[in-house]
Amino acid sequence: MPEKARKGERTRGRILESARQEFARHGYERATIRSIAATAECDKSSVIKYFGTKQQLFREAVQWQAAFDASELEVSDQQGKDYLRTMLADFAGPQQDPMFALLRAAMTNEEAAQLLREKSTTGAVDPLAEAMDGPDAQLRAALLSAAMFGIAVQREMLKMPYLAEADLDDVLRLSGPMLRKLLEPPTGGEHPPAS
């Protein structure tokens, strides 16, 4: 790769990283192309050259892929723990910046909220629902996703007392039965007849 192309890729990478930081820190509305360029140590014209608009930059900056695989779903405490462990690792690891940026922006920006809904549904809820047996699979998958998401956000992003300080094994041990309950099909008496 020619040096000019390598330099362009490095600049583009710095802009993306800067955008993730600015969107996570300030939300979509308050983050500006000027502040993103300043953090990336480049000028506004470079941001526009590589990404076009703030909206296009945002969409690229918040890309991430759900890491868990629902194709071999087993109903067990261990399966629920494994899903949650993977989500917590994403929130604490290199995926953190895109997710935090999208979450922060989704609180005040409808486009970001819609993007978060789409990513959560297609990346987590739909694959889980397809792998689940029994009635209410979509609702159970959505509840499982919401429970794991809530734990991850409160532990890794908000650093809520007790949960953030708790040992990961304790979090997994105590949440495993709850998550397993959502994975397994409801028994006869638990599913009311449709009206």
- What is the DSSP annotation of 20-53? HHHHHHHHHHH--HHHHHHHHTS-HHHHHHHHSS
> Same structural domain for residues 45 and 130?
no
Residues 82 and 132 in one domain: yes
Rounded Cα–Cα distance for residues 126 and 116 (Å):
14
Nearest to 19 by CA among 4, 5, 39: 39
Q: Are residues 57 and 105 in the same domain?
A: no
Predicted local confidence at residue 1, as pLDDT: 66
pLDDT tens, position by position, 69-107: 565 666 666 777 887 888 788 777 665 678 788 888 888
Domain stop point among 18, 36, 61: 61
Cα angle: 33, vertex 16, 90; to 5 degrees: 130
Which pLDDT does position 195 carry in this prediction?
Answer: 46
The domain tally of the chain equals 2
User: Same domain for 124 and 158?
Assistant: yes
- C-alpha to C-alpha distances, 87 to 136, 144, 155, nearest whole angstrom: 23, 12, 11
The ranges of the chain with pLDDT < 50 are: 193, 195
pLDDT at 63: 81
Q: Which two tokens stand for residue 99?
A: 């997710």
Tokens of 83: 């899903």
Q: What letter would DSSP give residue 62?
A: T
Domain that includes residue 49, residue range? 3-61
Query: For position 71, what pLDDT does the model report?
Result: 58
For 1, 84, 181, the CA distances from 136, given in Å and listed in that order, are 52, 21, 13
Q: Read off the tokens for 169.
A: 């094994």
Under 8 Å between Cβ of 73 and 132: yes
67 is a domain residue: no
- 61, 89, 108 — which closes off a domain? 61
Burial annotation 13-45 (CB, 10 A radius, 16+ → b, else e)? ebbbebbbbbbbebbbeebebebbbebbebeee
The pTM of this model reads: 0.73
